[in-house]
Amino acid sequence: MTESAIAEHLQQERTLPARTPQNYHPAYPVYTTRWGKNVTDLVMAVLGTQFSTRSNQADEARAKLLSFLEPDSTDISTRPSFSEVTSVTDARGHYNEAIIAYWPSITAYRQWAVESGFQQWWDALDAERESHGWFLEVFFPTMDRIETVYTNNEVGEGAAHMRDSFSGAIAEHGYWGSMRDRLPASQTNPLDGDKVDWNAKETEDSAGSAKRRIRVPGTPNLAVIRSAQDWADTSPAERELYLNEMHPVLVKGMDYIRDYGYETGCYSCRLMDVVDAKTAKADRDRTFGLAYFDELASLERWSREHPTHLAIFGGFFRYAKKLNNQITLRLSHEVLVLQPEQQLFEYVGCHAATGMLTSVYGHPGLAQIT
């Protein structure tokens, strides 16, 4: 017995058909998050630092960002509901750390930004004086523009830390198009974005972007996916199988859309390690891919057609078969499809291939970015 991924209070008469195959029944259960009817929006923020090489400065920068989240920095009601520290080495070989944080409403986020002193500090950053980069990427989805899916209904990931509950097993998964079918907005909205014309982008000037503060405007129906992997509680045998057979295939797929995303409409892809907040050591046995696509259709097309994702998809089924479907690996994702005003991107002293700066300067895989 399954239920709809779309909560009852968000269901409406479809003007666009669902893509569920006729007489379809999922082969295995997955779950989604349920929020209360009074929840109208939430916030996911990426508070980041960037260095040409890893150094002690990274520890200082991380401590500065974490100070805005400390109990004495602001009232408990406005602090994030969940946050964690992550790291990644990007396409240019720069070391990045980021705090991923979630708030249960836009109001709570804005109150935190002011009361903690973060907004005042952020606005005062001077790219000319900073010895490294800072970036801020914030998403403000209304509840009709987010969908989540989890292989486990006991341990939360990301936005699920703010859930009222998990759903029962859902009907819309395991077929091409199910991601779109889980989005409430897709019932009446095709969620078309602006296709990227990479040839129309600026070229990076001789000074580069590193000594500037750049705010990038939002784009229509930007698709954001955070796709997580958690093998912390796997048995030794399953852990070995995951690390030797499945994780390398995932890395290959993430590296492809990081380096050649211009072929698929992907602005940015980071495969991030969840790390210790004090040492930044990647000892949490958790990673997630964070990618930004020009529209949901581009993300769907890469998922459905490209060999790198088909290898990931096929690899999971082989993995499950070897374990007789007795899997303790936890997989999940959250997908946001956002209107321009639901996006905030600002970069202080970052190189031109950072995040959504590719929408200004072009993709790092293109020859114009060297």
Q: What amino acid is encoded at 51 in this protein?
A: F
Residue for token pair 């969840």: 274
The pair of structure tokens assigned to 155 is 């341990």
Note if 173 is an active site residue: no
Q: What is the DSSP string of 134-171?
A: EEEEEE--BGGGEEEEES-SSS--GGGGG-SEE-SSBS
CB 49 within 8 A of CB 132: yes
d(CA 280, CA 270): 17
Element (H, E) at 271: strand 266-275
Q: What are phi and psi of 148, to 5 degrees?
A: -135, 155
Catalytic residue among 132, 173, 309, 333: 333
349 φψ region: left (φ > 0), alpha (ψ -120 to 50), beta (else): left
3-state SS of 58-110 is: HHHHHHHHHHCCCCCCCCCCCCCCEEEEEEEECCCCCEEEEEEEEECCHHHHH
CA distances from 329 to 216, 230, 317, 319 (A): 37, 6, 13, 10
CB 24 within 8 A of CB 163: no
Q: What amino acid is encoded at 301 in this protein?
A: R
CB 58 within 8 A of CB 51: yes
The pair of structure tokens assigned to 133 is 């980069």
CA quadruple 39, 104, 3, 290: dihedral sign: positive
d(CA 59, CA 280): 8
**Alpha carbon of residue 328 to chain centroid:** 22
Catalytic residues: 333
